[in-house]
Amino acid sequence: MFVDNPVGTGYSYVDSYSDLTVDNAQIASDLVVLVKEAFKVNPDMEKMPFYVYAESYGGKMTVDFALAFDQAIKNGEVVSDFRGVALGDSWISPMDSVNTWGMFLYQMGFVNIEGLQKVDAAALKTQQAVDAGRWTPLTNGATLSLSSWTWLTTLISTTYWLKTTYTGTKQNRIPVTFLSCQKSFLLTETNLHVSVFTGNLDLICDTPGTYRWIENMEWPGKPNFTATNTVPIYISAYSAPAAFVQKSGQFSVYTILRSGHMVPIDAPEMALKMIDMITASTSKNYTPGIDVSRGAHSPKETEEVAKANPKTKKAAPRKAKQTGKSTGTPNTARAKVVAARPNPATPTGKRLSKLVPIAKALH
């Protein structure tokens, strides 16, 4: 189920400005109502494992929603097999992100020393403004790069635009909760599995900033999590690592390689594998471990594989009966294609017969 959230965005419209939300608590309340109504229409959903995945500011909203929904379940207001949340490149602690932008950009080679100093200086001013509660200058300041875009002024001045349902801006009403979040409550007040994932090339919610707010959290399982090694994840038998995961108890952190702010777009295969791993680790038949298997999208948790072959770069050799050779290379799969003997009398056989010479050439 995909949701345009909060109300006033996408297909989630309101009839009155008074119905627009101004803080995360209201957003969470709306989402709880939505899920309750969805379950009434589709009662089977009550028995299905329920997860919430969100990215960017959606991660912050998900924390509040998860707390509210978990409480509604405990109060008997709704029945659900609520198992966990996944917070992707989330704006959980903005200043932890902003304060690490300079070094992140410098280490990635996007700025030199002078650029690093300028970014750090701007971050310091931002921190000072936040500490002083100066929200309006931060959010309503002039943007010089738009000075020549006169059509924006024309658009905003039109009566139709100002009256449209989609204009949900709440100027001068951004609450302090914009920069705060009940980060560890899901780990201390619920039994939910919490997964955090971050694209290592993301800037706005950069990986260093994500690890900083994680390090600042306190929950009972923190010592065990800190002592747990980070393990590489592969999406196929012959791929380089696609991600790294650190996991202990109900908390896990995935660092997705070669991905920016939107992991499903930049690394779709790894995103799908991560979902498999999260859902598998919260299943009732789950055996503790970490998935480092090289099979694409395999939900098996095989920490033993990592312990037995920590430096293995290739899949274990296996016999290819078709060729009589023992190999651990892609030739095994190709040999299977070559060995196939299609029946040219059938339509499928005719098509396969044309592929055999190509397969032989590849082999």
User: 252 to each of 84, 88, 207, how far by Cα in Å?
Assistant: 11, 12, 14
Pairing of strands 325-327, 318-320: antiparallel
Q: Please give the pLDDT value at position 101.
A: 96
User: 83 to each of 64, 76, 80, 157, 266, how far by Cα in Å?
Assistant: 15, 17, 9, 47, 26
* Token pair listed for 146: 């738009």
User: 310 to each of 22, 233, 304, 306, how far by Cα in Å?
Assistant: 50, 12, 10, 5
Could you give phi then psi for residue 168, rounded to 5 degrees?
-110, 20
User: 235 to each of 52, 207, 299, 354, how far by Cα in Å?
Assistant: 23, 21, 11, 31
Average pLDDT for runs of 10 along the chain of length 363: 88 89 90 94 92 90 92 94 93 92 95 96 94 74 51 48 42 41 74 94 95 92 94 89 94 96 94 93 60 46 47 46 44 37 51 46 44
Q: Please give the pLDDT value at position 238.
A: 82
Picking from 215, 229, 206, the residue whose alpha carbon sits closest to that of residue 94 is: 206
* Token pair listed for 65: 């929603």
Question: Residue for token digits 């008997």?
Answer: 76
Q: Please give the pLDDT value at position 33.
A: 94
Q: Please give the pLDDT value at position 167.
A: 41
* Token pair listed for 52: 């919430």
User: 43 to each of 33, 35, 53, 186, how far by Cα in Å?
Assistant: 15, 11, 21, 26
Q: Please give the pLDDT value at position 46.
A: 93
Q: Please give the pLDDT value at position 189.
A: 86
H or E, element range at 81: strand 81-88
Q: Please give the pLDDT value at position 300.
A: 46
What span, in angstroms and rounded, lies between the C-alpha atoms of 53 and 87? 6
Span(s) in the chain for CATH 3.40.50.1820: 17-93+181-308
Omega cis (within 30) before 6: yes
Picking from 258, 235, 266, 264, the residue whose alpha carbon sits closest to that of residue 86 is: 264
Query: Side chain identity at 235, as an amino acid letter?
Result: I
Q: Please give the pLDDT value at position 215.
A: 92
Pairing of strands 243-248, 231-233: antiparallel
Cα of 294 vs its chain's centroid, Å: 21
Local structure of 151: helix, strand or coil: helix
What would the CATH number be for the domain defined by 17-93+181-308?
Answer: 3.40.50.1820
* Burial of 222 (C-beta count, 10 Å sphere; 0-12/13-18/19+): middle
Query: Side chain identity at 234, as an amino acid letter?
Result: Y
